Each structure stands twice: as structure tokens, then as C-alpha cells.
Amino acid sequence: MAANFWASTQYLNWQCTRAELLEIRDQLENRDQALLQQYTLPERRLLSIFFNQQLVKLGKRMSVRQQALATAQVYVRRFYIKIDLRSTNPYLILATALYLACKMEESPQHIRVVVEQARNMWPDFIPSDTSRLGECEFYLISEMNSQLIVHHPYRTLQDLQSRLILGQDDVSLAWSIINDHYLTDLPLLVAPHVVAVAAIMLALTLKPAQAGNTSTSLGSSPQVPKDLSQTGPAVVSTSQQRVQNFVKWLAEGEVDVEAVAETAQEIISLYDVWEQYSEKTCKEQISRYVKAKGLDK
């Protein structure tokens, strides 16, 4: 694993600005306007929620570790800024991304197990021939230019736990928020340590009672509270002290405060859009184009 994020292929080749990302996607969509108009799809963040939930369900069937799931989500996001979604079978892409991510995170799964479990979940979309997943694996590797190492925010969160005197509830909630950031474009826009700091900031402003109950892996979106009026005085005092420690550390550190604030806002906006999410709609619209184009064969 590359020890230094700033020297990694992730930073050098897979990080961009919002304007650059928008331009990349515009160029991708402009390649085939007819296809774009023929098969409408839900808003990108809603599709991200759907893909995440499908990956989590598949991962649970095989007891896949969270970091491998996170890597798979990054692979899917990278792949779909190179290839238009409507030209692929996303279920096969999801299964393949998880299969490849497990290899890279040193927790490999046998290809037959992945195909079997994927077919159990999506019987109409996953072929029984394991060679199809093997071919798709090479397709993903090629489109990602064999740049498969992914740095995650989890390590920074663990490193900051003692420095910021974070409680276990704070860490659990921040961990869940980090899980949720993979449903946004943030892995393509900001460094992992910025995501970790933003997750800590959000965790410290949420009610302690909510800790551990917000991860998308549990199928529910967190609600950002307005205040801490329902918590006891001792809890509030401790919470306030942790916030003060965090603010002091942030002011004295070298982290880009503006980037942290923008990252936090991006995550909050994901929770806002979550209210519009419909798994049924995503399934129907994906199924429509996959079957019409024969991509399930």
C-alpha cells in the first residue's frame, strides 16, 4: 500500500475539482444524447444510495469487511466517470467491484462464491458463467488504469481519537458518517483526512443518543438535530468540552477549514436528498434499460 496519499495515484490521477468533474460528466453524457433521452434515470445521489445498499447487502452475504466495501464503492464511482451507466449492467459492475476490492484489501472471495451470492440477489441480471465476472474484472481494471490502491478516512479518524479525546460514541458516529460519504462525489474531490475531520465535526454536533444509528449500511439516513436540549447536563458538558477541544485543534492545525466545511455541507445535503429516495424507482429504471439493451445476457 502506498504510505503517502499525496504521492499516490489516488491523489495524482483520481482527484479533481467540482468544475472538472462536471465537465467530465458533461462530455460523457454528450457522447450519446439519444441514449440519455431514451432512458431516464434517477438523480445521481439517489442512484448512489441504491448502489450502496445493494453492495452492503451483497457484502453481508459474504461477511465482507467495511474497508473492502468502501473500496468497492470508490471503484464504482471511478468507473462511472469513464463509462456511461446506460451502457453497462450495473449489477455485474457492483459484484465485480466488490470481488476486486476484496482482493485489494487482502480479504479475497472465491469468484464462484461472489457469482453465486450475486445471482441469489439479482437472478435476472447476473449470468451463471463465472467467466463473465472475470471479463468484467479486467474491464474495470483497464478503465481505472490499474490504479487500484485507495486511501480511506478511517485511519485518520483512529489517529485523531486520542488526540481529540473522542468518546466511543463520537467515533462510532463519525465512522458511520464516513461510510455515508462514499454515496457522494467526495472521494473524487477531497483528501481522506478532510473527510475524517468533517465527520468528526458532524459527530460532535449530533445527539449522543444517535451515535451508531446513522450508517447507510443500516438502511436509514441520519437526522441532524437542532440542539442538545434532550441530553443530560453532564453529557452536554462533556460534549461541549470535546467541541472546544476540536475547535482549538482545528484552529491551530494545518487542515483546510473551508474544505472541511464544504465537505460537511455535502454530507448534510445527501441526508436532505435521502427523503426523495425510492428503491422501487431505481430498480425499475435500471431494469428497463438493462433488459431493453440485452445487457443482462
Rounded Cα distance, 277 and 224, in Å: 18
The closest of 257, 295, 250, 252 to 122, measured between CA atoms, is 295
Question: Model pTM greater than 0.95?
Answer: no
Query: Would you place residue 231 in the very low, low, confident or very high pLDDT band (cuts 50, 70, 90)?
Result: very low
Q: Check pLDDT > 60 for residue 218.
A: no
CA distance 208 to 48: 27
H or E element in which residue 166 lies? none
Q: 32: helix, coil or strand?
A: coil
- Judge contact between 111 and 86, C-beta under 8 A: no
Residue 181 near residue 221, CB atoms below 8 Å: no
Per-residue pLDDT reduced to its tens digit, 106-161: 999 999 999 999 999 999 999 999 999 999 999 999 999 999 999 999 999 999 99
| Residue in the structure block whose three cell numbers are 431505481 | 282
As a whole number, mean pLDDT of residues 22-38 equals 87
pLDDT of the residue at 219: 36
Q: For position 217, what pLDDT does the model report?
A: 42
Residue 126 CA to residue 118 CA, distance in Å, equals: 7
Query: What percent of the chain has pLDDT above 70?
Result: 89
Encode pLDDT of 42-66 as tens digits. Answer: 999 999 999 999 999 999 999 999 9
All residues at 6 or more sequence positions from 251 whose CB lies less than 8 Å from its CB, including other chains? none
Q: Residue 230: pLDDT above 70? A: no
Contact between 34 and 289 under an 8 Å Cβ cutoff? The reply is: no
Which are the contacts of 169, defined by CB distance < 8 A and separation ≥ 6?
208, 211, 212
Average pLDDT, the chain: 88
Go through the chain and tell me how many residues it has.
Answer: 297
105 burial level (CB within 10 Å; 0-12, 13-18, 19+): buried
Confidence label for 207 from pLDDT (cuts 50, 70 and 90) = low
Give the pLDDT of residue 237.
56
Residues 244-251: what's their mean pLDDT? 89
- Of 122-126, 223-227, 243-247, the range with the lowest mean pLDDT is 223-227
Q: Percent of the chain scored above 90 by pLDDT?
A: 75
pLDDT of 27 higher than 80: yes
pLDDT at position 158: 94
Q: Are 75 and 100 in contact (CB under 8 A)?
A: yes
d(CA 90, CA 115): 14
